[in-house]
Amino acid sequence: MNLDDLLFTTYGFASFRPGQREVIEAVLEGQDVIALLPTGMGKSLCYQLPAHQLRGSVVIVSPLLSLMQDQVSQLKKMGEKSVVAINSFMKSEDKAKVWKHLSSYRFIFISPEMLTQDFVKRQLQRIQVSLLVADEAHCISQWGFDFRPDYLRIAEVIPLLGHPQVLALTATATPKVTSEIKKYLAIENPFVYQHPMDRPNISYDVRKFKTQDEKTDWLVDFVTNFEGPGIVYAGTRKKSEHLAALLTEAGLAASYYHGGMEHQDRIFVQQQFQNGELQWVCSTNAFGMGVHIANIRHVIHFQMPTSVEGYVQEVGRAGRDGEPALATLLYADGDEALVESLLIDELPTEHEIYTVHKNGIQASSLVEQGIIRETAFRVISYWLNQLGVEGTLQQIGKMQSEKLKQAAKMRGLIVGGRCIRDYLLECFNQQTDRKPANCCSFEGVDYTVYRKRILKTTPDTLTSWEARIQALMPMKNG
C-alpha cells in the first residue's frame, strides 16, 4: 500500500500537508528524524500514520498534561482506541490496568518526568517500542537546562527500550536548539526536515509607550474595538490576573490562565476558550501548547518576551485557519530591565546550590520547608550529579549569560528599526523573497482588516430581549 492510500484508508485525508510526506517516508525508512514544521501543519500525523506500519508501540514524550489529553482526544475522534496518556492524575486502579495491558496500546503518551522513573522504565522494557517521539522538542533546550531537567535524560531511556527510532517534532528551533536536540536525544545522523517558518497571514506589530499605564489603556481600548478570539501574554501570574480583571470590567468575555491555578481550573478555562465562551485569555507562557483553536485572530504580548524562540512559538498560535491574524508586541521604557530580573530570578541562586550540596540526600526536605524552590532543587540536583558543585555554579552562570543574550536579541526586534518579518527569519537562518501586503508595522499594517464586525440592525429587525421572551410565552386566550 502506498502512502496516499494508507493516509486515506486510515484517516480519510486525500492529501498530505507540506512536509508530512517527507518526514513520514524517513520514519518508515528507519531513520531518526528531526522535523521542524510550523504550528498548524499537522506534526502529529508524522507519528500517527507510521504507527500503523511499525511493529510495537509508539511512545510520545509530551511536555504538558493538557497537550497529552488533547492529542488522546483527537486520536479517539479519529477512531483510535489503543491510546493512553499515563500521568500522575490517574487513579491507582486505572494505572494498574494500563500496566497490565501496556503492550496492547499503539500510542503511549507520557511526560519526561514519568518516563525517567525506574518503575516506568521497567514496565516499558516489557513491551516492544518501535518509535520514541519527542513532541515539542524545543523544550529539551528551552526547559531542560533550567526548568525540567528530565528532558535531558530522555536519551538514558532509549537503550533500555532496545534503541527505537527517534522522531523529534517542533514548530521552531534555531540552529543552536536543533544541535542541542541532536545532542540530548543522542541521535548522530538524523534526517532533518525544516519547513519555511514564515506565516504570511500573520502581521507583526510593535507598539511603544512611555509608561505601563499607557500600555494598559491601549490594551483595553484595542480589545474593545478589535474582534477576538485572542491571547494576551503577560510576564507574571499577577499581571495576567490584573489584565483579565480589566477586560472583564470592560464587558469582555475574558479570563486568566497560569501555572499557579488548580489543574481543573486551568482545564476549565481552556475548554471555555476552545468552545468560544471566552474571547480573550490573559496568560503567562503556560498557555498555548495543546490549544488547537484555528481562528485565533490576535496574540498580544503585554510585556517583552524573554526570547525570539518563545515569541515565535506563541505568535504561531494565531491564524491557523489561514485567515489574517495580528501579533502585537507592547513595549514601554524599562521593560528589558523587568525581563532581565525575571530571567535571573528563575535560576537557582549560589546560596541554593551550596545548600543542596551541603544537605545531600536530605536536601529534598528543604523544598517542603520552603527553604529551596522546587524548580531550583530539580535543576541543582541534576547538575550536581553531572558536574559537581563548582561545575554547577559555572553551568548556572552560563545559563544566565545565555538568557540575557536571548533577551537582547528580542530587544533587537523592538528597537532595530527594520522589517520584523525579516528579523525573525534571519534568527532562524531563513529568508523570504515574497512578503505579504500586510507585513509588519515597519512596512505598514492595515488595521481595518482586524476591526470588529458590527452587525447592522434596522428597527424592523431589532428585537429586545423582553420581546423575545414574550414571543416564547404561550398566548393567553381572550
What's the whole-number mean pLDDT along residues 214-218? 96
What secondary structure does DSSP assign to 217-260, as a single string?
HHHHHHHHHB---EEEE-SSHHHHHHHHHHHHHTT--EEEE-TT
Report yes or no: 193 and 23 within 8 Å, Cβ to Cβ.
yes
pLDDT value of residue 1: 61
Instruction: Pick 134 or 287 by higher pLDDT.
Output: 134
Residues in the chain: 478
Instruction: Pick 126 or 260 by higher pLDDT.
Output: 126
Residue 236 lies in a domain: no
Is 224 found in the same domain as 156? no
Residue 392 lies in a domain: yes
pLDDT at 354 over 80: yes
How many other C-beta atoms are found inside a 10 Å radius of the C-beta of residue 44?
18
Non-local CB neighbours of 103 within 8 Å, separated by 6+ positions: 57, 126, 127, 128
Instruction: Pick 203 or 264 by higher pLDDT.
Output: 203
CATH code of residue 165 = 3.40.50.300
What's the whole-number mean pLDDT along residues 396-403? 92
Highest mean pLDDT among 166-170, 197-201, 462-466: 166-170
Question: Any long-range contacts for 157-161 (C-beta under 8 Å, 24+ apart)?
Answer: 157/115, 157/116, 157/121, 157/124, 157/132, 158/132, 158/185, 158/186, 160/121, 160/124, 160/125, 161/59, 161/124, 161/125, 161/129, 161/132
Residue 405 lies in a domain: yes
Report yes or no: 410 and 311 within 8 Å, Cβ to Cβ.
yes
Report how far residue 310's alpha carbon sits from residue 299's, in angstroms, rounded to the nearest whole number.
Answer: 13
Cα→Cα distances 189→166, 183, 384, 396, 399, Å: 11, 11, 30, 30, 27
Domain final residue, candidates 194, 219, 251:
194
pLDDT value of residue 393: 96
Report how far residue 243's alpha carbon sits from residue 219's, in angstroms, rounded to the nearest whole number.
Answer: 9
pLDDT value of residue 469: 40
The band of 235, judged by pLDDT with boundaries at 50, 70 and 90, is confident
Residue 255 lies in a domain: no
Cα→Cα distances 310→97, 258, 317, 347, 351, Å: 38, 16, 12, 17, 29
The band of 474, judged by pLDDT with boundaries at 50, 70 and 90, is very low
Q: Which alpha helices (DSSP H) does 147-211 contain, by range?
A: 154-157, 175-185
What's the whole-number mean pLDDT along residues 240-250? 96
Is 353 found in the same domain as 435? yes
Domain final residue, candidates 150, 171, 194:
194
Residue 424 lies in a domain: yes
Q: Angle formed by the axes of helices 420-427 and 374-415, to 10°?
A: 130
What's 17's DSSP letter?
P
Report how far residue 158's alpha carbon sits from residue 150's, in angstroms, rounded to the nearest whole number.
Answer: 13
Is 207 found in the same domain as 117? no
How many other C-beta atoms are found inside a 10 Å radius of the C-beta of residue 427?
21
Q: What value does the mean pLDDT of the chain take?
A: 88
Report yes or no: 414 and 331 within 8 Å, Cβ to Cβ.
yes
What's the whole-number mean pLDDT along residues 49-64? 93
pLDDT value of residue 290: 62
Is 149 found in the same domain as 168? yes
pLDDT at 428 over 70: yes
pLDDT value of residue 462: 34
Is 152 found in the same domain as 218? no
Cα→Cα distances 412→417, 419, 423, 432, Å: 9, 11, 9, 20
Beta-sheet strand order (sheet of 107-110)? 83-86, 107-110, 57-61, 129-134, 165-170, 33-36, 191-194
pLDDT at 467 over 60: no
Residue 263 lies in a domain: no
Range of 86's domain?
3-194
Is 409 found in the same domain as 310? yes
The predicted-structure confidence for 19-28, as pLDDT tens digits, reads as follows 999 999 999 9
Is 452 found in the same domain as 346? yes
Non-local CB neighbours of 180 within 8 Å, separated by 6+ positions: 140, 141
- Share in percent of the chain as helix, strand, coil (round to 5): 50, 15, 40
Cα→Cα distances 144→107, 160, 177, 202, 394, Å: 24, 21, 12, 30, 17
Is 211 found in the same domain as 150? no
Residue 393 lies in a domain: yes
Is 417 found in the same domain as 338? yes
Q: Which residue has the cell 517500542?
A: 129
pLDDT at 170 over 50: yes
Is 127 found in the same domain as 98? yes
Is 50 found in the same domain as 99? yes
Report yes or no: 127 and 158 within 8 Å, Cβ to Cβ.
no
Q: Which of 52, 69, 265 is nearest to 283 (CA)?
A: 265
**pTM for this entry:** 0.83
> Which of 112-126, 287-301, 321-335, 367-381 is predicted with the least confidence, judged by mean pLDDT?
287-301
The count of structural domains within the chain is 2
- What distance lies between CA 258 and its chain's CA centroid? 13
Is 208 found in the same domain as 136? no
pLDDT at 172 over 90: no
pLDDT at 468 over 80: no
> Which of 199-208, 285-294, 407-416, 437-446 is predicted with the least confidence, judged by mean pLDDT?
285-294
The band of 259, judged by pLDDT with boundaries at 50, 70 and 90, is confident
Percent of the chain, pLDDT > 70? 93
Residue 237 lies in a domain: no
